[in-house]
C-alpha cells in the first residue's frame, strides 16, 4: 500500500443501513417526481431554484404518462423545451415595455425558462472532448441564451459573459474559459473583493442567481465558471493538474482586468466543485484569502468501495456513468472504478500534505454522494482546517449550510482589510 493510501472504512459514518439502501426515486420518472422532486419543486429549492411549480408539474405528468424513464433520452430533455420557449416569449414581451416593472417581470419569466432547461439537461453534460448528449446540449445552449437575457436586466450589476483567455493552457486544454461575471456598482471607482464560484457535476454558470446576489449585497464580485469535465469547461478532464492551469488563467485575467482587489479573493466550490476548491486551497494558497469546500469528495469518493453503492443514493439518476465521463474515462465505468482513486485522490497525489490557505469544510454527515469521511480526512494533513457538519443532513448539508458559510466568508473578507 502506498504511504498516503487510506483504505475505505469498515463502516461509513452515514450508517450501514443508509449506505446499503437504494432510494425509491431510482424506480423511474414517476418515483423521481413523487418521492424526490415534487416537494422541492413546490418550494423552488434546489434543483428548482428560480423556477415555478406550475411550469414543471405538467411536464412531469406528460413524462409519466409517456413512460419516459431514461433521464438521458432525447424525449426527457425535449419535454421541457416548449414551455421554456413560451416563457421566453413572455419575457421578451415584458422586456419590450421598457419600464422597471416590465424588466422585473421579464427577468422572472426568463429565470423560470432557464430553470426548466436546467432540468432538461440534467443529470450531466460535457462538451469535452466531445458533446456527451446532443439533446441536452440543445437545452444547455438555450438555457444560456435565455439566462443572459435575464442577466442583462439586473441593474445596477448586470451579468457579463466573459471569454477569459486560457493563457496557461497546455496539452488538450482549449483556449478560452466561458465565465459569468458580476461586480458591485462601486467597482468602477474602487477595486472590489470577489468570490470565484466553482460549479458542480450538474449545476453550471446559469444556476447561481441567488449566490451572486448574496455576494453583491456584501460588496463582492462574482466570477463563475465550470469545473473540468462539465458543460463548457475548456480544461482537459483526464488531466488531474488541468484545474491548476484553469485558475492560473483566471487569476491572470482578474489581475489584468483591474476591477478586483486581488488581496481579497475567495473561492467556493459546490459539490464536485468542492474537490477543486480543496485543491485550490493548497495549490493557490497565496492567491486566496479563504476557501469553502462545500460537499467535497477528496479520496474515498473515488474508491470502488464507496461507488459500489453510490448509484442508489440521493443523486437523481445514475452517478457513476456521469463521474466516469466527467473524469475523462468516457463510457468506461469499470476503468473509472479501477483507476480514478490513484489518479485523482488528493491524498494519494500528495495535495493534502501541502500547506493551505484558510479552508472551511461544509457538508451533511449523511451525504450519500461525497462521504463525510472525505472532509474529516483533511484534519489529519497539512494546515489546520475549519468545518461545519450537519448531523442527519444529506449532500451539501442543506437547508442549514449557507447560514454557516456566509458569516465565515464575511469574517475572512474583513480580516484581510
Active site residues: 271, 367, 395
Cα angle value 204/208/212 (rounded, 5°): 135
Q: CA dist 403 to 40, 62, 262, 390, 394, Å?
A: 19, 37, 26, 12, 16
In contact, 227 and 278? CB cutoff 8 Å: no
Reply yes or no: is the peptide bond before residue 76 cis, omega within 30 of 0.
no
Name residue 127's beta-bridge partners.
none
Q: Which segments of 327-401 does DSSP mark as H helices, in order?
A: 333-344, 373-376
Distance (Å, rounded) from C-alpha 276 to C-alpha 295?
A: 11
Cα angle value 407/413/417 (rounded, 5°): 140
Are β-strands 290-294 and 358-364 bridged in parallel, bridged antiparallel, or unpaired? parallel
N-to-C CA span, the chain? 46
Which burial class, exposed, middle or buried, applies to 263 when counting CB atoms under 10 A from its CB (0-12, 13-18, 19+)? exposed
Within 10 A of 237 (CB to CB), how many other CB atoms are there?
21
Residue 389, phi then psi, degrees to nearest 5: -110, 145
Amino acid at each position: 500500500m502506498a504511504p498516503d493510501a487510506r483504505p475505505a472504512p469498515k463502516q461509513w459514518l452515514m450508517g450501514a443501513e443508509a449506505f446499503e439502501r437504494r432510494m425509491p426515486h431510482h424506480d423511474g420518472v414517476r418515483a423521481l417526481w413523487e418521492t424526490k422532486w415534487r416537494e422541492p419543486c413546490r418550494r423552488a429549492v434546489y434543483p428548482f431554484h428560480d423556477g415555478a411549480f406550475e411550469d414543471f408539474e405538467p411536464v412531469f405528468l406528460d413524462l409519466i404518462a409517456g413512460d419516459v424513464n431514461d433521464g438521458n433520452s432525447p424525449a426527457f430533455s425535449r419535454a421541457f423545451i416548449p414551455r421554456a420557449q413560451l416563457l421566453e416569449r413572455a419575457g421578451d414581451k415584458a422586456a419590450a415595455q421598457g419600464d422597471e416593472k416590465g424588466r422585473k417581470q421579464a427577468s422572472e419569466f426568463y429565470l423560470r425558462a432557464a430553470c426548466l432547461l436546467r432540468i432538461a439537461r440534467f443529470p450531466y453534460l460535457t462538451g469535452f472532448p466531445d458533446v456527451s448528449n446532443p439533446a441536452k446540449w440543445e437545452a444547455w445552449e438555450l438555457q444560456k441564451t435565455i439566462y443572459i437575457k435575464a442577466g442583462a436586466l439586473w441593474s445596477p450589476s448586470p451579468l457579463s459573459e466573459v471569454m477569459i483567455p486560457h493563457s496557461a493552457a497546455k496539452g488538450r486544454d482549449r483556449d478560452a474559459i466561458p465565465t459569468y461575471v458580476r461586480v458591485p456598482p462601486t467597482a468602477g471607482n474602487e477595486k472590489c473583493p470577489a468570490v470565484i464560484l466553482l460549479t458542480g457535476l450538474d449545476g453550471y454558470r446559469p444556476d447561481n442567481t441567488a449566490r451572486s446576489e448574496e455576494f453583491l449585497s456584501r460588496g463582492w464580485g462574482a466570477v463563475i465558471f465550470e469545473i473540468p469535465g462539465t458543460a463548457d469547461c475548456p480544461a482537459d478532464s483526464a488531466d488531474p493538474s488541468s484545474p491548476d492551469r484553469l485558475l492560473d488563467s483566471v487569476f491572470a485575467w482578474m489581475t489584468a482586468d483591474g476591477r478586483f482587489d486581488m488581496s481579497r479573493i475567495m473561492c467556493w466550490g459546490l459539490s464536485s466543485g468542492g474537490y477543486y476548491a480543496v485543491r485550490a486551497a493548497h495549490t493557490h494558497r497565496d492567491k486566496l484569502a479563504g476557501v469553502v469546500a462545500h460537499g467535497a469528495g477528496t479520496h474515498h469518493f473515488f474508491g470502488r468501495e464507496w461507488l459500489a453503492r453510490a448509484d442508489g443514493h440521493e443523486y437523481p439518476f445514475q452517478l457513476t456513468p456521469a463521474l466516469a465521463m466527467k473524469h475523462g474515462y468516457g463510457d468506461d465505468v469499470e476503468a473509472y472504478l479501477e483507476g480514478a482513486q490513484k489518479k485523482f485522490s488528493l491524498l494519494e497525489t500528495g495535495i493534502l500534505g501541502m500547506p493551505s490557505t484558510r479552508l472551511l469544510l461544509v457538508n451533511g454527515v449523511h451525504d450519500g454522494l461525497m462521504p463525510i469521511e472525505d472532509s474529516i480526512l483533511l484534519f489529519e494533513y497539512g494546515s489546520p482546517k475549519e468545518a461545519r457538519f450537519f448531523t442527519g443532513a444529506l449532500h451539501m448539508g442543506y437547508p442549514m449550510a449557507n447560514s454557516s458559510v456566509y458569516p465565515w466568508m464575511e469574517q475572512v473578507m474583513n480580516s484581510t482589510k
